[in-house]
Every structure is written in C-alpha cells, then in structure tokens.
Amino acid sequence: MSGGGDDDLAAKAIAAQKGAYAPYSKFHVGAAIRMSGGTFVGSNVENASYSMTMCAERTAIFAAVATGARVLEAVAVCSDASPPSSPCGACRQVMSEFTPDPTAMTITAVNPAGEARSWLLSELLPDGFSGRELP
C-alpha cells in the first residue's frame, strides 16, 4: 500500500484478523477502514447457519455508520489467502453505498506473509447498483 496512512490501515487489518470467529470455514478475515476521517476495524463472525455470517468489511463499515460516519475513504482487508483475496460481492455493494466516487476509492487486500493487491472499487463492482435507479 502506498502512503503511511494506508500502511497503518493494512497493519490494523492484520491485527483485526486475530479477532475473527471462523470455526467452520477456518477463513479468518480482518478489515480496517477509513471512513469520514476515522478508522474502524472489524473481523468476520461465522454462525453454524452460514447465511447468518457477517464479513469483516461490513462489520467495520456498520460500526463506522453507527457513529455517524458516512463517507468511505479506504479499505484494507486481511486473510491468509495467497494471493490475498478481494472482498465478496455483498461487501462490495455495501462499500458502494458509502463511496461517493468508486473510481477514487482503493481497496487493498493483504496477508500476514506481506503480499498485497489493490483495486479501485469501480474495478471490483462495475456498474454497481447505487440507488440512483430508485424512484
């Protein structure tokens, strides 16, 4: 990741991964986001009923929104995958809700081994549903 702030976000995502509750999939994920100038973290939380599972990215975004934050500026997500994996479609859609310009919002995936990959939200969710389509 470029820039000191982004490196800090990646470090916080790696630390957040330790809080993941993933007894079923064993896919531990941590996320750190910068939203409305604040930093928020989250971990994935699984449930025996898989559809009740919550991803780390959405956990962090929902925590930020609960404090009044509304503008998503950057995302870092950490898993053990090699190469690091991108966020799921549901997380991409939630990110889109709080990103005024998807062509300017960076998502970086890292793993504890030091690998990193980055995308713009617009690359991961082209032509995403924005709500502008609603009456």
Average pLDDT value for residue range 95-111 = 96
Span of 49-53, 56-60, 78-82, 104-108 with lowest mean pLDDT: 49-53
Pairing label, strands 106-110, 30-35: unpaired
Reported as a single tens digit per residue, the pLDDT across 27-41 is 999 999 999 999 999
- Cβ-contact 67, 38 below 8 angstroms: yes
Please give the positions annotated as active site: 57
Mean pLDDT confidence for 116-124: 97
Cβ neighbours of 31 (radius 10 Å): 31
pLDDT attached to residue 1: 35
- Please say whether the dihedral angle defined by the alpha carbons of residues 16, 67, 57 and 101, taken in this order, is positive or negative: negative
**pLDDT band, residue 5 (cuts 50/70/90):** low
Closest CA to 13 of 109, 89, 126: 109
Whole-structure pTM over 0.85, yes or no? Answer: yes
CATH fold of 4-124, please? Answer: Cytidine Deaminase; domain 2 (3.40.140)
In this predicted structure, the answer to whether residue 16 has a pLDDT above a threshold of 80 is: yes
Report residue 4's pLDDT band, with 50, 70 and 90 as the boundaries: very low
Domain chopping of the chain, boundaries: 4-124
DSSP state string for the chain: --SHHHHHHHHHHHHHHTT-B-TTT----EEEEEETTEEEEEE-B--SSGGG-B-HHHHHHHHHHHTT---EEEEEEE-S-SSPPPPPHHHHHHHHHT-S-TTS-EEEEE-TTS-EEEEEHHHHSTT---STT--
